[in-house]
Amino acid sequence: MSAPVVEAPADREVPEERPAGDRAPASSRGGSLTAYAMVAPNLLLIVVFLLVPLVWALVMSFQAKRSFGPGRWTGLDNLTRLLGDDVFWRALLNTGIFTVATVPLSVGLGLALALLMDRALPGRGVFRTIVYLPIAISTLVTSLVGLLLFDETVGIVNGLLRDAGIGPVSWQTDGRLAMVTVVLMTLWTRVGFGMLVYLAALQDVDGEVMEAAAVDGAGPLARVRHIVVPWLRPTTFFLVVINLIWSFQVFDVVYVMTNGGPGYDTTMLVTYAYDEGFGAARNFGYGATVGLVLFVVTLAVTLVQVRINRRTEEA
């Protein structure tokens, strides 16, 4: 593995530069104009395509509104319906189950594989590449392959199980197993990412400290537990947060592999919002309300992240 190309200074945290203008006031003339010109396109895109829709989503959530039609103010009707909506609670629960299943496994297996493939080993580069490959594969391909593997009648897994005298296993008609297949295909693409990020962080583990620990009689497991894992804490934290956010937002795999079924057994927040907004009902008001729940959950996770970050930085 070559050294990372985009190299921030070695101490990771870059101290804030004094703006050039503070030191040489003469040179700042025209500087701020250039600066505004350089950030303006980005800000414009953010405001138009993100902030305006966010505010509009809030507005829609207080309206009865079908597709592009005019919105009629209905106060808290959408929220009331949401709270009494069994399918919504089911979608929230399913998203929770999916999250609890995918996040620890993505991060944990990523760490395990990174430790496995960190030290010298014949064919290490090939092994790593194979585990990385699914990162570059679109979720659509992943999902179609998932269908091929777990199709109950002509799928590959049931074919192999049949050769072994087992099955057929009802991967698609049993709600729990359908959830398992969705989780498995998600892990296929996520574990490699976790391993990649961990391997990059492991490059920086101090070899001398490890050797000193070994000389002092610390076994491999003790070294992992007391040196490597604490060292990797910021990396783990990052991976947990990004995996949480990805899991809350899950859509593609579910849409293609199960379409939320059987029944509502794999319906997620985003697939439900999509069905309400872009399905037969075309209920933009209610769809936006369901979407805002995702926003609130993401916001909460991010705020918790910021708090924990601040605390560890102070410590």
Q: How far apart are CA 315 and CA 37, in angstroms?
A: 40
Nearest approach, Cβ of residue 241 and other proteins (Å):
9
* b/e sequence 211-237, b meaning 16+ C-beta within 10 Å: eeeeeeebeeeebeeebbeebbeebbe
Task: Rank residues 182 and 185 by Cβ distance to other proteins and give the closer one.
Answer: 185
Nearest approach, Cβ of residue 212 and other proteins (Å):
21
Nearest approach, Cβ of residue 95 and other proteins (Å):
11
Task: Rank residues 4 and 207 by Cβ distance to other proteins and give the closer one.
Answer: 4
66 pairs with which residues across the strands? Answer: 283
Residue 113, C-beta contacts closer than 8 angstroms, at least 6 positions apart: 131, 191, 194, 195
Task: Rank residues 179 and 201 by Cβ distance to other proteins and give the closer one.
Answer: 201
Task: Rank residues 97 and 132 by Cβ distance to other proteins and give the closer one.
Answer: 132
Task: Rank residues 85 and 271 by Cβ distance to other proteins and give the closer one.
Answer: 271
Nearest approach, Cβ of residue 284 and other proteins (Å):
5
Nearest approach, Cβ of residue 206 and other proteins (Å):
18
Nearest approach, Cβ of residue 261 and other proteins (Å):
15
Task: Rank residues 30 and 84 by Cβ distance to other proteins and give the closer one.
Answer: 30
Task: Rank residues 30 and 207 by Cβ distance to other proteins and give the closer one.
Answer: 30
Longest dimension (CA), the chain: 82
Nearest approach, Cβ of residue 2 and other proteins (Å):
5
Nearest approach, Cβ of residue 47 and other proteins (Å):
8
Task: Rank residues 125 and 263 by Cβ distance to other proteins and give the closer one.
Answer: 125
